[in-house]
Amino acid sequence: MDFDPNDDQRAFLDVLEQMATGPDAAWGHDPDWKRYQWSPALDATLDENGFFDCAAEPDLGPVAGALMVMRLAELPVLVEAAASTLLRPRLAPDLPRPVAVMTGDGPAPFLPVARSVLRLAPDGVSAAVLDLGDVAAAESLFAYPFGQVGTPGAGWQAVDADPDTARDLWRVALAAELAGVLKGGLGAVLEHVRSRRQFGRPLGSFQAVQHRLAGASARIEGGAWMALRAAETGDAADAAQALGWMQASATRIVYDLHQFMGAMGLTLEHPLHRWTYRARWLKSALGGAEANLSLAAARTWGA
């Protein structure tokens, strides 16, 4: 057991950190008050430098990929990382990115900005390269660019992959993204409660606030390690358990984060919604907490 990154992973994370703290990753409200802030500049920089291929590098591996997904999900801006980093190298390395993922027929995140789409149906995996006009943008409360695709002009191509394995890779990616999103929201709220004073004291000095945020931190970190372990082992029960745990934890954490941000968290001038409305979509993914925890139980003890 070693919970520290290896030297290559550390070097990789150091460079990633420079990008994650650079100007293309910083919060700024959208001129049209959109609920998300797509950062094509950060996405392009990461892409040009090969970051999205890290999971396929023997010295970095899926653990580095999951760490990268988490770190980028902490940002108030949006890049498409989960599918590109943890699905694409295993399922269809030649797909142009950004890559959207559909698990049903309805609207899905990232479609309006994606250049390809992976469809993870229970009976098979397929992919399509997207052309202009394939995707209709869809308004959504969730903090992603949502869109809907009918039949892509280029048509669907079957991907030679086991559909259950593909969904488990996606579960790990979603768990990592949800852990990162909640960590990002927690970070913003911590900053707020350290400085915001009420009743003559910082809000963060009240035990009622401290204990709930400490509990949130324990749940997020536990889930983050479970996601990293699932990324490394590729174990089906680990994958369902990591996602189910993060999804089950998200409801309470999202509530607390908004409570402690008060009215500021209800405005579009503060980025809290960027994290909580990604978390709210992520906690519904692949059937939500109960479905994934039930699946994990069936995989552990047999149905």
Contact residues for another protein, defined by CB under 8 A: 1-6, 9, 63, 190, 193-194, 201-202, 204-207, 209-211, 213-215, 217-219, 221-223, 225-226, 228-229, 232-233, 240-242, 244-245, 248, 289-298, 300-303
From the CB of 131, what's the least distance to another protein, in Å?
40
- The residue behind tokens 């900053």 is 191
From the CB of 6, what's the least distance to another protein, in Å?
7
Of 210 and 259, nearer to another protein (C-beta) is 210
CA atoms within 13 A on the CB side of 148: 8
From the CB of 251, what's the least distance to another protein, in Å?
12
DSSP assignment letter at 76: S
Maximum separation of any 2 CA atoms in the chain, in Å? 63
Of 135 and 193, nearer to another protein (C-beta) is 193
Q: What is the CA radius of gyration of the chain?
A: 19
Structure tokens at 45: 């920089």
As a whole number of Å, the end-to-end CA separation of the chain is 31
From the CB of 167, what's the least distance to another protein, in Å?
16
Q: Contact at 8 Å (CB) between 178 and 246?
A: yes
Q: How far is 143 from 141, CA to CA, in rounded Å?
A: 6
DSSP assignment letter at 38: B
Question: Which one, of 123, 80, 78, lies nearest residue 100 by Cα?
Answer: 80
Of 33 and 301, nearer to another protein (C-beta) is 301
From the CB of 249, what's the least distance to another protein, in Å?
9
Of 245 and 275, nearer to another protein (C-beta) is 245
Question: Which one, of 209, 266, 222, 273, lies nearest residue 248 by Cα?
Answer: 222
From the CB of 287, what's the least distance to another protein, in Å?
10
Q: How far is 156 from 153, CA to CA, in rounded Å?
A: 9
From the CB of 14, what's the least distance to another protein, in Å?
16
Of 13 and 129, nearer to another protein (C-beta) is 13
Of 109 and 265, nearer to another protein (C-beta) is 265
Of 4 and 123, nearer to another protein (C-beta) is 4
Of 84 and 241, nearer to another protein (C-beta) is 241
The burial of 166, by beta-carbon neighbours within 10 Å (0-12 exposed, 13-18 middle, 19 or more buried), is given as buried
Q: How far is 265 from 272, CA to CA, in rounded Å?
A: 6
Own/partner long-range contacts of 193-200 (Cβ < 8 Å, ≥24 apart): 193/260, 196/262
Q: How far is 177 from 49, CA to CA, in rounded Å?
A: 21
Q: How far is 55 from 214, CA to CA, in rounded Å?
A: 31
From the CB of 10, what's the least distance to another protein, in Å?
10
